Structure 1
Amino acid sequence: MSEVHLVCEGATCKCQFGTAPDTLKVKTQTKRFINDTKGKSKLTATHKDIGQTFEKKTFGSCAKMNNNPCKPAITKWENLHDKVTLKDNNGKPLLENSKATCAVAGSACVEIINHGQITEVTQQNIQNSNAQIIKAINPALSLNIEDTGLLQIPNM
């Protein structure tokens, strides 16, 4: 079974009745971050993030409204991480396969097309790397190599 990611602020969502994606904004809590080494920008999204919770507040034109401008109003989220509850808002984290019901469409028509998490290389990742493999992948990279084969890089 493949891995399912938690969703964070910045996730890309789309509606099956809309013409454009929009970016998820977390408005229900301000303390729980994921996938952010500095803990400043990737808030954990939960099922409490309902209503007007998108950056542009639109998915383009809406087929359910005769192609008039979409104005999504999320009423609930499905397929949550039910084993975790955030203390700040009693919210269950969203998963990348979560879907939202829109008040206009009346169905779970909003899906997450990108969970919002990104890979960040940290100092610990570099310290745990094998210098010979890194050198084989990128011979132009100049690193101090100890006899152990582990990378030794001064403060990044």
Structure 2
Amino acid sequence: MAEKHVVVQGAQCMCKFGTSPDKLKVLTNTDEFVNDKDASKKSIASTVDIGATFEKNMFGSCSKLNNKPCNAVVSAWSDFYEDITLKNGGKILLEDSKATCPIGGKDCISIVQHGQKAEPSTENKNNANENVQSQLNPMDVPEELSQTSQEQVIDS
């Protein structure tokens, strides 16, 4: 089984009956974070994030409502990670989790992007293989070469 990303604050969601995406707002979890070195922005989304839990609470025009404005409301989530329960009592949402809306029906809302983003830190740089990094980014001079260059400048 392939690994799946955990869904976090700011994940892009889309309803199959809507015309535009909306971002998930995690309103129920203030204690557990992932992909956030400061543990302040990327709270984990869970099955208790129901109701009006999006930034705009709409996915544009709803084809189920004759293209009238959508009023996104989540009544339930499916395909979540069942082995862990968060402090808020919810189960962790995964990138292939789906939401049910009373208008669109079961599993009409899907997650387009899980919300996690790479956030490199000094620790990542310190743990990186210098040879690989210098090949990926030739402008990043390995430390031993940088020190040699500095010594040559000082000696001249």
**How does the TM-score come out when normalised to structure 1?**
0.88
**Within the alignment, does 1:62 sit opposite 2:59 as a pair?**
no
- Amino acid of the residue matched to residue 99 of structure 1? K
**How does the TM-score come out when normalised to structure 2?**
0.88
Structure richer in helix, relative to its length? 2
Count, aligned residues:
145
1:139 paired residue number: 138
SS in 2 for 1:136: helix
How many angstroms apart in 2 are the aligned matches of 1:136 and 1:94?
Answer: 37
- Amino acid of the residue matched to residue 121 of structure 2? T
- Amino acid of the residue matched to residue 66 of structure 1? N
How many angstroms apart in 2 are the aligned matches of 1:94 and 1:112?
Answer: 10
Unaligned runs of 5+ in 1: 147-156
How many angstroms apart in 2 are the aligned matches of 1:124 and 1:3?
Answer: 24
Structure 1 residue 63 displacement after superposition: 0.5
1:154 paired residue number: none
- Amino acid of the residue matched to residue 52 of structure 2? Q
Structure 1 residue 138 displacement after superposition: 2.1
Query: How big is each residue's C-alpha offset from its partner over 1:40-64, in whole Å with a ceiling of 9 and x where there is no partner?
Result: 1001000000010000110000001
How many angstroms apart in 2 are the aligned matches of 1:27 and 1:136?
Answer: 43
1:34 paired residue number: 34
SS in 2 for 1:117: coil
2:71 paired residue number: 71
How many angstroms apart in 1 are the aligned matches of 2:101 and 2:89?
Answer: 21
1:91 paired residue number: 90
Unaligned runs of 5+ in 2: 146-156
- Amino acid of the residue matched to residue 11 of structure 2? A
- Amino acid of the residue matched to residue 134 of structure 2? K
Change in CA separation of 1:71 and 1:140 when aligned onto 2, cut-off 3 Å: same
How many angstroms apart in 2 are the aligned matches of 1:130 and 1:5?
Answer: 25
Q: List 4+ stretches of structure 1 deviating above 3 A.
A: none
Query: Which residues of 2 match residues 2-17 of structure 1 at below 5 A?
Result: 2-17=2-17
Structure 1 residue 18 displacement after superposition: 0.3
Which structure: larger Rg? 2
2:122 paired residue number: 123
